[in-house]
Structure 1
Amino acid sequence: MSPSTCVQAFFDTGTSTVSYVLSDRATRRAAVIDSVLDYDFKSGHTHTGSADRILAYLGEQGLTVDWILETHAHADHLSAARYLKERVGGRIAIGEHIRQVQQIFKTIYNLEREFLPDGSQFDHLFTEGEVFRVGQLEVQAMLVPGHTPADMAYRVDGMVFVGDTLFMPDVGTARADFPGGSAHILYRSIRRLLALPPETVMYVCHDYPPKTRTAQWQTSVAEQRIGNIHVHDGIDEATFVAMRTARDATLDVPTLILPSIQVNVRAGQLPPPEANGVRYLKIPLNALPVRDPAV
């Protein structure tokens, strides 16, 4: 990593999400990656404490935001992308296959006719291999589907932000049982990431640490290839798919999946207000597959 490159992490304890500010010290330009809008499931209230920590850091460092990046449409937290853009600007961006995710969930939620599954809610949709800049930093967008069809990683200056595709080595890999997910495709995306130079620094989007350690979010390609409990070197695709499929069958649906995705496919915009001026999140009943509690 060059002296001009700076990465600041923000860990949200409520959702175990790591957001990042990537900045170029030379130009004071920045990108925010995977921001969090706090949501209280019991009361239905949103809060901005996590995003405000990022705003405070941007102000303290005198940074101008060029990009507000999403690695995918998250199922475990609401995005604060729209809230941040309204305050500091920047272009909200995600991978172009968000259109597929939008189409899937427009049907599940029966979203309003005006919601178009064409990606237009975002300011920019990245294509595979597309290069963009944060100040003088050159960033490459990498398509890494499997967890969802639209997952992107962002590679810059000897680092890669991998979203949910990989976790810390002792935690493993993302689930692949969401609509449009595929354990086969996830394995191939992971192997593509692990083919990067061994010294490449990896920043993960979540950490669910065992009791023996505190939360962490920085690892490397070499560490993943040696020690990832799900996909270290020597694990072939068939073995991984069998493990991932069996494990996913035991996992509960994420607590915030239903409120979060209907916001995140809108680039962090809350649903439009209804005639009484109130915005509503929809809960489709019996629409998502769930684990059999008897299993």
Structure 2
Amino acid sequence: MIVERSMHPQFLSNTYLVADREGGSAFFVDAGGPVEPLIEAAERLDVTPTHVLLTHHHHDHVAELDQLKARWPQLTVLIDDREGGRDEIGDAGSFPETVTVGDLEVRALHTPGHTAGMLALLVDGNVFTGDTLFKNSVGGVRAPGSTSYADLRSSIMDTLMALPKDTVVRPGHTDPTTIGEEWENNSFVRVWRGLDKEGEAQCTAFGDPATLVLLGDDYDGGHKAWVRWPDGRDDIVPGSQVQTG
């Protein structure tokens, strides 16, 4: 399997070209751009893209979908039926449990939390996790179409962490990692495993009182915060929205 990646300079979102072999068949994972390097890679590898497989609907993952469809009008675009916000996507098909592209079989794993229809895509020892799991971080549950902290935690701990430890994680933003690395080192996963203690510091989040359970890393060099509201609800919010002291 061949994987080529292009990362948007502002959004830091990844678009992937995945091929079964040189001269074979290929598909794209998301389309946030810039897609020009991937179009060039497809031509250099002499592969025929057949699908765009979308992890979710957010703008930074679909912004350049039209450019891919203009280059390859026959592309089939697939997204989960539970996903909203389809204005930028147009005519997309329903994602089945598996998609076969050339010699590759792509299995869709439903991983709600960041959005209702978020998918992780498992293929040949790799999992494309969209905005659910990043290197030493996790997705938030405050973006449009998000569901809940409980969903996000279950998607990571019950679905993704159940994959073999050598599975390569190719997230929706920035650098790759592995399931094993995140199992051992991801600060959110470590607390969920009971290896590290929850924090108890008082803070404000979006201006409201809360408990800061964990101030972890985020993919952009900032922070992602796990907070607990006075009514006991847990939330994952941008670290920039949390103040302590």
| Unaligned residue ranges in structure 2 (runs of 5+) | 200-211, 215-224, 228-234
| RMSD after superposition | 3.1
* 1:51 paired to 2:51: no
Displacement after TM superposition at 1:162 (Å): 0.6
Q: Considering Cα pairs closer than 8 Å and 6+ residues apart, tell me whether 1 or 2 has the greater RCO.
A: 1
Partners of 2:166 and 2:89 lie apart in 1 by 37
Render the CA deviation track for 1:83-142: whole Å, top value 9, x for unaligned. 2012123111111111xx23xx9xxxxxxxxx7xxx993332114xx1111111111011
Superposition pairs of residues 66-215 of structure 1, within 5 angstroms: 66-76=50-60, 78-88=62-72, 89-98=74-83, 101-102=84-85, 121-127=90-96, 130-169=97-136, 172-179=137-144, 180-191=146-157, 192-207=159-174
How many residues matched?
A: 211
Render the CA deviation track for 1:161-187: whole Å, top value 9, x for unaligned. 111111112xx1011122432111000
Q: What amino acid does structure 1 have at the position aligned with 2:12? A: S
Of all paired residues, the percent bearing the same amino acid is: 27
Displacement after TM superposition at 1:32 (Å): 0.9
CA contact (8 A) 2:169 2:179 kept: yes
When normalised by structure 1's length, the TM-score is 0.63
CA contact (8 A) 1:164 1:206 kept: yes
Q: Which residue matches 1:9?
A: 5
When normalised by structure 2's length, the TM-score is 0.75
Partners of 2:194 and 2:117 lie apart in 1 by 24
Q: Which residue matches 1:234?
A: 193
Q: What amino acid does structure 1 have at the position aligned with 2:31? A: S
Render the CA deviation track for 1:29-55: whole Å, top value 9, x for unaligned. 101112225xxxxxxxxxxxx121211
* 1:36 paired to 2:32: yes
Q: What amino acid does structure 2 have at the position aligned with 1:96? A: D
